[in-house]
Structure 1
Amino acid sequence: MEPTAHSQQEASTPSSTETAEDLALKLNVAVRDSNTEDVLLLLEKGADVNSRADSGWTPLQSAVQANNEELVQLLLDRGACPHARKDNGGTAFTEAAIVGNVNILELLLKRGVNINDHDDNGFTALMEAAWYGRVEALEFLHSKGANVNLRRAVSEEKAKLHKGGATALMDACREGHFSAVKTLVQKMGADVNIRDNKDSNALIHALKKGYCAKERYESAVSIGRYLLQHGIDVNSKNECGKTALILAVEMQSPDLVEALLEKGEIDIDDADEEGNTALMVAVEKNDYNIAKLLCEKGARTDVGNLIAVANRKRAPKLALLLRQHNARFIPENLEDWEPNSKRWRDQLKNLYKIYRPMIGKLKTFQYIQQRIQNTSRGGIYLGLHGGTEVAVRITRSVEGDEEKRFFEQCGNCEHLLKLFQFEKDRGYTYLCFPLWERNLEEHLQDPEEQMDYKDALRMIFQAVRELHSLGFAHQNLHPSDFFIDLGGKIYLADFDNRRKLIEGKKDLVNSDLEALGRLVLYVLTGGRKPLQQVSTEDLAADSPDYHEALDLVHSLVSHDERGLEGLSKHPYFWSKQSRFKYLKSIWNKIKSLPNRKAVFHALNAMNHSPYPQWTNEIDECVLKSMKNPPEGKRYNYKNTITDLLRFIRNLDEHPTDRISRRIGDHTEYFLALFPALTICVHNRLRQSPSYSHLADIQDSPL
């Protein structure tokens, strides 16, 4: 609709008191009223088509919300930005999906909108359409390439709180839109077994609000049965540890309870974080029919105060049913118990107190609050095996047997994670390991934790050596694969099962050496950067071990011929005292050789000597005193490496109080003054075929 001539005349001469803010406010009001004539007038007066109202709403977004296609087209033609975001990051496109208007969605797509774009809470247009049950919009978005299995992206802070990760299918299930669920699964191939960041799948979302009203109850039951027909995992839990069976009991849906039990995969005695089983919930709700069904299917009646609860509910018939299935009153008499673990104390105490069905001698709870680590093959959970604190890996029995055989091979290794015990139940193997406090990545990123980097790397090197000695290459060395116990001891594990048999394949060993080089840098830089981003430039050049560390990393990455066995004796691992004694011992060895001139040549023939003018570095008084010793011959030291070694040896072998007072501890003085000397001498000797044996520290009287 075009403005009249009179309106145009008014528009050309706007009131002097009418500000841009006034025009913007009026424009947004006109759009929300779907008053096209006023919209045109205000645009002619100069109202900003991309102005924002409360919460960041633009006129275009308001027009979409009003489901006004004509107004949407008009605003787009007048320059409205289809990419503008509200305060919550939402756009006109996500708003169109909420409305479910396919024509508006298509209009916006033609303006270059990203079909998988999301707001600040991670909602895409497809997710919004699913949440509001807009089936036609779902089908349209899918036909245009929307990712049906995209998980809700959230900030790092929200992810740490286990928020986000939901899919469009979960949204449709949560809001009870059965037709949308069927469309997503049947026509769009939605994966029913994706889990969100709280470890819940679509079935758990379907039952979250399923008992609020009759209509919602019926849709939840229908969706639940449908998902069961399409192979959904019935053992997923919500954030409170409730299984689908417990949620179905809370809904008081005998049909859904029966359907879940018919699957034969569900643990009927599984309990939530408060220790309540499905039967305990049924008794608490005084639901005789469901309680009878659960009892007949073999639910345990020897847990909780079932009889007492039934009596409190004034339900004699229910109490009689429970007694017929051997229910007895079991007084709770748990002794106070304090875990050894400091980090996992609260979770372990909770596990100790609550009811859990025992798996042999193992008590564990496979839900998010008891999970201590994620792996590519599932989580690691806390457990108590015969009262001992353990970490539990749960696998299918076939995989578990293979894992068990591998970990049993690690039994005699000092720094490979060992198998403590195992249990089997219902086709699953429960592998139990001594409980660790943190993995290496977590430890380094905790500002309150301290670590002796050299000692840590010694244990890491030994762990990799032990794995290689068993015939395996790790192929995925990462800080999260190294575990630290209460005593600070480090162990290596391979829960991702990426290890490979070496069988003479040197490239597999070399791959581990390269990864170990990156790991050395990661440890020495305190984990400040991600493993793949850290480089030698991040090493602190003023560190007393800088030159040795640099050489160690280079040796690992270049597949040094010494291999891991030889590099485990690298000068980086030597103490300061060992390095100083080594430098002294070299001169003593050289001077006793009949062909020492050749050794002199090997050490001094350096294109780039680290200290070409070392005599200028020495304290002048000390150098003068050593050139003219009180006893002995005068000697004029030259700027060669061998004379520097001779100087170090002579000064330390023939100390004087005057020199010691001036320079202090000899070891500290020389290593601080010549920090690259040890690795320089070591490498020059090692690389000389005739004298390489002199490089080994074990040949020195240390």
Structure 2
Amino acid sequence: MEPTAHSQQEASTSSSKETAQDLAFKLNAAVRDNNVKDVLELLEKGADVNSKAESGWTPLQSAVQADNEDLVQLLLDRGACPHARKDNGGTAFTEAAIAGNVNILKLLLDRGLNINDHDDNGFTAFMEAAWYGNEEALKFLYSKGANVNLRRAVSEEKAKLHKGGATALMDACKEGCFSAVKTLVQEMGADVNICDNKDRNALIHALKEGCAKKKRVASAVSIGHFLLDRGVDVNSKDECGKTALILAVEMQSPDLVKALLEKGEIDIDDADEEGNTALMVAVEENDYDIAKLLCEKGARTDVGNLIAVANRNRSHNMARLLRQYNARFVPETLKDWEPNSRRWRDQLKKLYKIYRPMIGKLKTFQYIQQRIQNTSQGGIYLGLHGGTEVAVRISRSTEGDKEKRFFEQCGNCEHLLKLFQFEKAGGYLYLCFPLWEENLEEHLQKPEDQVDYKDALKMIFQAVRELHSLGFAHQDLHPSNFLIDLGGKIYLADFDNKRKLIEGKKELVNSDLEALSRLVLYVLTGGRKPLQQVSTEDLAADTPDHKEALDLVSSLVSHDERGLEDLSKHPYFWSKQTRFKFLKNIWNKIKDLSNRKAIFQAPESFPYPSWTKEIDTCVLKIMENPRKGRPFRYSNDVTDLLRLIRNLDEHPDMRISKKIGDHAEYFLKLFPALTIYVYNSLRQNPEYSHFAGIQDPSL
């Protein structure tokens, strides 16, 4: 059978596609072979200069990796895109930094590349140059404005796993590039105390790598000494809770151990997540010299089964040394213990079991796995104070004393976070608070039937009122600052110290009211949008108490003269029965007034101008023709609607009750905007505003 013209065209197109793919494959291969002649021939045949090979590599990126300046120039001249990215987001520019070729970096930078551009893992060209110890490239990039202290940017998902956040200095430390480390610190002002997302500083990066790769011990020790001379924080920990001292012991470097111990701020008895101190590690490693040094410096010998470990290692000298410093074989047994907290159960049980040096009556572990909240002033950590589960805020004594005084003022407030206990040690103040289970942001992620929005907002309003009564405006009413305990009670905290003294500054109070309006919307929409993005448009019309909620938000935004005290009594917070009782009682208050219709807002603003057509016809007929009274025809006026509500509830009729059920449920569902209309009409009428003074007794 002869092929048709259509099938021939399809075959030709397929052949053309294969040829293009084949040319692309050959072009990338020729570039990687540094075969300029084949590259030129393939380009003449129509090979795509921006085609991609496996993992998204372009010919330009391959030429840069091959460190071939002429080939890079050729490809650029033929239209190669310098901005093209590999599958991991890397560009030719980051590859040039890895290669360390300054000429290629210049060439690419002249093509409009952002010097601080990064790949999907957050690596910039400057970081790559530091990682590979390419000092000339480092210096060039620095001279062109590279950010020395830029932290590795990663996706939100990776950040939640505490990945990223490292700097170029950390990279140089990790790879043992001592010369690059010195250049970064001495010539470029790299900050030695920045921490990555696992709370590790440059010293920890250097020592961890020294432990992992024994061939790098010498460079790690040199870097360690250098960083110590530059004031690096010696109390930083790795992701397993190991301090620099413990890592130095694991590296079996007596010189570095000694240098660390000479730093007065170091805690010789600090332990990792398994409860191992530096001395315990030295005994386990059977390193007599370091163990002796630690004992001489006062390391505790009454924690950990040191004698048993020495005996297991058949190290009689170690055992004698330990006994000389009062070590004893005392088997430790712990009673079984179950925390009250459900959220933090596993971390608390681990804290209970491991050894930690006590701070007065407090046992806590300042490392990432025991951290329950981040703040701009440092983390909040789990703790046990005299056996009570607590949240611990650690501050320098000076700042901590100010915080302590503030929290002590909150002692009589029901919904402000209170101070439970405190401890002082080594120039630090340890503030202990009753432990919470979650914050409001986390709480709203639960299914809707598990969250009582109105109850939550009642507590939030009271918390802000209490803070204002102490003379402070919060200025940071973010969901993460509202903490919820095991019983569901909400407390307002201010760990970022953004509160300000009001001192007659109305604008500070107004700022809190505006923030509270956003918070109301955030809560009522279940936290589905970030706080700063939520608006009244996100509040669905079928939201319970929709009209009252909108009015409450509007009142907060407009800095209503009622203030927070009276807005806490807003109809939104009333129960259904209270709203119905309010509507019913209004008729009793106005029925004898000749001008009762004038009390309410203009008739055109009444939301139900044809209410007699909306109500059940049988209900209206029965009410207009009562069994024991004179017939009465109700008009569409708001006063007649209030009259009907009052008469129905005061003179119940079983025929109506069987038809509509609960009176309050029926009328509030049929006329959802009636309560707020009547309330605002009365409130805004100076002569009758006192009629709006009802409130829910539960408030």
Partner of 1:626: 623
Query: Partners of 1:659 and 1:37 in 2: how far apart?
Result: 97
Matched, 1:168 2:155: no
Aligned partner of residue 80 in structure 1, secondary structure: coil
Query: Sequence identity, in percent?
Result: 82
Q: How does 1:124-273 map to 2 (within 5 A)?
A: 124-211=124-211, 215-273=215-273
Aligned partner of residue 423 in structure 2, secondary structure: strand
Query: Partners of 1:147 and 1:445 in 2: how far apart?
Result: 38
1:445 shift after superposition: 2.0
Distance of aligned partners of 1:645 and 1:118 in 2 relative to their CA distance in 1, 3 Å threshold: same
Partner of 1:291: 291
**8 Å Cα contact 1:151/1:196 also seen in 2:** yes
Query: Partners of 2:250 and 2:498 in 1: how far apart?
Result: 42
Q: Which whole-Å deviations, capped at 9, do the CAs of 1:178-237 have from their partners, x for residues lacking one?
A: 111111111112111111111111111011111455651111011111111111111111
Query: Partners of 1:354 and 1:648 in 2: how far apart?
Result: 67
Partner of 1:553: 553
Query: Partners of 2:652 and 2:486 in 1: how far apart?
Result: 45
Query: Partners of 1:227 and 1:442 in 2: how far apart?
Result: 40
Q: Which whole-Å deviations, capped at 9, do the CAs of 1:558-596 have from their partners, x for residues lacking one?
A: 11111111011100000000000100000011124xxx1
Amino acid at match of 2:383: G
Amino acid at match of 2:429: T
Aligned partner of residue 433 in structure 1, secondary structure: strand
Deviates more, 1:261-270 or 1:599-608: 599-608
Aligned partner of residue 382 in structure 1, secondary structure: strand
1:449 shift after superposition: 8.0
Query: Partners of 2:64 and 2:221 in 1: how far apart?
Result: 34
**8 Å Cα contact 1:604/1:641 also seen in 2:** no
Partner of 1:5: none
Query: Partners of 2:191 and 2:273 in 1: how far apart?
Result: 27
1:403 shift after superposition: 0.8
**8 Å Cα contact 1:443/1:449 also seen in 2:** no
Amino acid at match of 1:519: L
1:648 shift after superposition: 0.9
Aligned partner of residue 432 in structure 1, secondary structure: strand
Matched, 1:491 2:494: no
Partner of 1:564: 564
Matched, 1:479 2:453: no
Query: Partners of 2:579 and 2:573 in 1: how far apart?
Result: 10
Partner of 2:89: 89
Partner of 1:684: 681
Aligned partner of residue 209 in structure 1, secondary structure: helix
Deviates more, 1:184-193 or 1:237-246: 184-193
Distance of aligned partners of 1:166 and 1:589 in 2 relative to their CA distance in 1, 3 Å threshold: same
1:278 shift after superposition: 0.5
Query: Partners of 2:320 and 2:22 in 1: how far apart?
Result: 75
Query: Partners of 2:25 and 2:544 in 1: how far apart?
Result: 66
Partner of 1:60: 60
Distance of aligned partners of 1:214 and 1:564 in 2 relative to their CA distance in 1, 3 Å threshold: closer
1:606 shift after superposition: 3.7
Amino acid at match of 2:571: P
**8 Å Cα contact 2:465/2:565 also seen in 1:** yes
Distance of aligned partners of 1:183 and 1:441 in 2 relative to their CA distance in 1, 3 Å threshold: same
**8 Å Cα contact 1:400/1:428 also seen in 2:** yes
1:504 shift after superposition: 1.6
**8 Å Cα contact 2:301/2:327 also seen in 1:** yes
Q: How does 1:400-549 map to 2 (within 5 A)?
A: 400-447=400-447, 450-549=450-549
1:45 shift after superposition: 1.1
Query: Partners of 1:75 and 1:449 in 2: how far apart?
Result: 62
Partner of 2:693: 696
Aligned partner of residue 431 in structure 1, secondary structure: strand
Query: Partners of 2:601 and 2:316 in 1: how far apart?
Result: 99
Distance of aligned partners of 1:448 and 1:313 in 2 relative to their CA distance in 1, 3 Å threshold: farther
Query: Partners of 1:125 and 1:213 in 2: how far apart?
Result: 25
Query: Partners of 1:210 and 1:671 in 2: how far apart?
Result: 72
Q: Which whole-Å deviations, capped at 9, do the CAs of 1:112-169 have from their partners, x for residues lacking one?
A: 1111111111111111111100011111111111111111111111111111111111
Query: Partners of 2:541 and 2:695 in 1: how far apart?
Result: 28
1:699 shift after superposition: 11
Of 671, 674, 687 in structure 1, the residue corresponding to residue 671 of structure 2 is 674
Of 640, 645, 648 in structure 1, the residue corresponding to residue 645 of structure 2 is 648
Q: Which whole-Å deviations, capped at 9, do the CAs of 1:356-410 have from their partners, x for residues lacking one?
A: 0000110000000000000110000000011110000000011111111111111
Query: Partners of 1:173 and 1:366 in 2: how far apart?
Result: 23
Partner of 1:663: 660
TM-score, length-normalised on structure 2?
0.96
Aligned partner of residue 208 in structure 1, secondary structure: helix
Query: Partners of 1:448 and 1:347 in 2: how far apart?
Result: 28
**8 Å Cα contact 2:418/2:434 also seen in 1:** yes
Distance of aligned partners of 1:211 and 1:238 in 2 relative to their CA distance in 1, 3 Å threshold: closer
1:448 shift after superposition: 8.4
1:433 shift after superposition: 0.6
Query: Partners of 1:628 and 1:649 in 2: how far apart?
Result: 16
Partner of 1:617: 614
**8 Å Cα contact 1:303/1:330 also seen in 2:** no
1:330 shift after superposition: 2.4
Matched, 1:576 2:573: no
Partner of 2:374: 374
Deviates more, 1:113-122 or 1:684-693: 113-122
Matched, 1:346 2:346: yes
Count of equivalent residues? 684
Query: Partners of 1:337 and 1:331 in 2: how far apart?
Result: 19
Amino acid at match of 2:371: R
TM-score, length-normalised on structure 1?
0.95
Distance of aligned partners of 1:448 and 1:202 in 2 relative to their CA distance in 1, 3 Å threshold: farther
Query: Partners of 1:351 and 1:72 in 2: how far apart?
Result: 57
Aligned partner of residue 273 in structure 2, secondary structure: coil
Aligned partner of residue 321 in structure 1, secondary structure: helix
Partner of 2:77: 77
Query: Partners of 2:176 and 2:563 in 1: how far apart?
Result: 61
Query: Partners of 1:81 and 1:423 in 2: how far apart?
Result: 61
Distance of aligned partners of 1:601 and 1:32 in 2 relative to their CA distance in 1, 3 Å threshold: same
**8 Å Cα contact 2:578/2:695 also seen in 1:** no
1:627 shift after superposition: 1.6
Distance of aligned partners of 1:582 and 1:418 in 2 relative to their CA distance in 1, 3 Å threshold: same
Query: Partners of 2:53 and 2:532 in 1: how far apart?
Result: 45
Amino acid at match of 2:123: F
Query: Partners of 2:90 and 2:600 in 1: how far apart?
Result: 69
Matched, 1:636 2:633: yes
Amino acid at match of 1:659: I
Query: Partners of 2:696 and 2:497 in 1: how far apart?
Result: 41
Query: Partners of 2:181 and 2:391 in 1: how far apart?
Result: 37
**CA RMSD after TM alignment:** 1.6
Amino acid at match of 2:27: L
Query: Partners of 2:670 and 2:36 in 1: how far apart?
Result: 82
Query: Partners of 1:17 and 1:86 in 2: how far apart?
Result: 22
Amino acid at match of 2:293: L
Distance of aligned partners of 1:80 and 1:559 in 2 relative to their CA distance in 1, 3 Å threshold: same
**8 Å Cα contact 1:547/1:679 also seen in 2:** yes
Query: Partners of 2:90 and 2:508 in 1: how far apart?
Result: 49
1:620 shift after superposition: 1.3
Deviates more, 1:659-668 or 1:547-556: 659-668
Amino acid at match of 1:679: I
Query: Partners of 1:544 and 1:418 in 2: how far apart?
Result: 33
1:318 shift after superposition: 1.5
